[in-house]
Structure 1
């Protein structure tokens, strides 16, 4: 973090595992029996977008619950069947089910001895926001995320600009789109965020984390009449957009954009040119861009 180019062979942290030093080794995990709602509350309170699920006795990794899994449950995809079929449309009943009902079990993992360049390649190849770190017995040792990697890679002085790596084929929604509609679009497209646009004006971005916080901060209970999905998922996404709208420009250096995103704790920035939305740049885009220059 001293501004010098990253040299993976020489600038290794003083830690028995480079990956554990860069990621989080004091990792918070939950058992498979924990209620979905309690897990979501924990994720929101700690600012986590993903939470490992482990055996209570052995600590072995069994799954991962992510903000995207919660969005899927909230009407985005197949996990919504837990609401519609098992709980006859009563979403507040469904979120009391154990996390094993919606957790992802087909996981990409890394080993503590893996080299950082290989881990970066895995993140880019799989488009996975976070990889659990496990030993040879699947014992959970930690987790490494796009944001952790970006912290390291931003010490490299990139020559690329935002316009070189941003996504320009955008899917947008209107401020009047429902939470359920936004979740369905995210799940179908495998997106974690969607720009909110009306009459060519950018209102903001709604993210999977925003939808998860709708549950985790208790706002969902403010819209209860019958407890059905129409009650709690039929409100517009404009109610989820809070805080300042942070943006960048196409001519911004990607390293500067990365540092700005890290300082603000956001995972993406809309790209604005001449007051128009021309793209979006995400943590994944930045990791991929900086990785290609190492």
Structure 2
């Protein structure tokens, strides 16, 4: 990433790292590509799914997701377990200041964050979602993940009862058994939006919702110093850190803290020439959804689970 004098007056959060983009191969019919993996989706899905009800409060859901390390929580009827919706980490970020769901705080509760987080989950959950039947194949899951950009797919029976959930990571684990000739630079996103350590958490939420991504590299003087994820922001709320210095309970107090307060000491990265098979194995081992790509100490791209699922399925 080279400094650009024409961009010197722009905020770090508004900068884009530019490299020649890789060719977009477009939608792919994965059923013909991975016939060898055809089989019951339940073989790789999580069957013992942690669930919530529509009457679960937002803060209860956030605490459950934070404690378990989940990015999503299916919402079901208490008695029948029929699927009614899902709340994702993106919904939580939207609610915390990123988008329209923040109106629950600003409008309904006049900015009182403490009151808003005790609203029921039905207020912010996504009611219309993509699902799979229990008879689905892994190829079906790949098709949904890649062509519909869905990171977690609830699996239901004929009556609509939740039977499991399959994620990008589950699928990536299966596809990663195949070696590849492709490298990180072949599949990474090379135009990466970045932010600075002093950016308020609320601004980071806005960026994530507006651009529809779950992570932002944090840079200082063109050098990567961390990465903040939507899960980090949610955990700020779920672990109670957001309330430690509250005096009035106003949302501005919660979301005004700098994003540097969310950064952990661990930062895992990769290099452009690394084989994507090895990148995938490290992401699985580290339990991370993405790895920044570093060259000469500079950030040049980002490889995500989505990028790897698509790349392996195209092989």
Instruction: Assess same fold via TM > 0.5.
Output: yes
The Cα RMSD (Å) is: 1.3
Provide structure 2 residue ranges, at least 5 long, that are not aligned to the other structure. 1-32
Deviates more, 1:281-290 or 1:223-232: 223-232
Matched with 2:83 is: 61
The equivalences for 1:266-281 within 5 A come to: 266-281=288-303
In structure 2, C-alpha distance between the alignment counterparts of 1:93 and 1:243, rounded to whole Å = 33
Whether 1:232 and 2:254 are equivalent positions in the alignment is yes
Q: In the TM superposition, what whole-angstrom CA distance separates every residue of 1:8-66 from its partner, at most 9, and x where no partner exists?
A: 66667xxxx72112010111111110011011101111111000000111111001011
Give the direction of change, closer, same or farther, for the CA distance of 1:57–1:200 in structure 2 (3 Å limit): same
Partner SS state of residue 97, structure 2: helix
Matched with 2:156 is: 134
Question: If the length of structure 1 is used for normalisation, what is the TM-score?
Answer: 0.94
User: Which of 58, 65, 90 is the aligned partner of 1:43?
Assistant: 65
Matched with 1:182 is: 204
Q: Is the 8 A contact 2:35 2:139 kept in 1?
A: no
Matched with 1:3 is: none
In structure 1, C-alpha distance between the alignment counterparts of 2:133 and 2:265, rounded to whole Å = 38
Provide structure 1 residue ranges, at least 5 long, that are not aligned to the other structure. 1-6
In structure 1, C-alpha distance between the alignment counterparts of 2:265 and 2:46, rounded to whole Å = 28
Partner SS state of residue 33, structure 1: coil
User: Which of 122, 130, 141 is the aligned partner of 2:144?
Assistant: 122
Partner SS state of residue 223, structure 1: coil
Matched with 1:218 is: 240
In structure 2, C-alpha distance between the alignment counterparts of 1:224 and 1:255, rounded to whole Å = 46
The 4+ residue runs of structure 1 with deviation greater than 3 A are 7-12
In structure 2, C-alpha distance between the alignment counterparts of 1:120 and 1:155, rounded to whole Å = 15
The equivalences for 1:150-189 within 5 A come to: 150-189=172-211
Give 1:71 shift: 0.3
In structure 2, C-alpha distance between the alignment counterparts of 1:192 and 1:10, rounded to whole Å = 32
User: Which of 70, 85, 102 is the aligned partner of 1:80?
Assistant: 102
Give the direction of change, closer, same or farther, for the CA distance of 1:11–1:166 in structure 2 (3 Å limit): closer
Q: In the TM superposition, what whole-angstrom CA distance separates every residue of 1:149-177 from its partner, at most 9, and x where no partner exists?
A: 01111111111100000001111111100
Whether 1:249 and 2:271 are equivalent positions in the alignment is yes
In structure 1, C-alpha distance between the alignment counterparts of 2:43 and 2:121, rounded to whole Å = 29
Question: If the length of structure 2 is used for normalisation, what is the TM-score?
Answer: 0.88
Q: How many residues in Structure 1 have an aligned counterpart in Structure 2?
A: 283
User: Which of 112, 115, 118 is the aligned partner of 1:90?
Assistant: 112
Whether 1:288 and 2:310 are equivalent positions in the alignment is yes
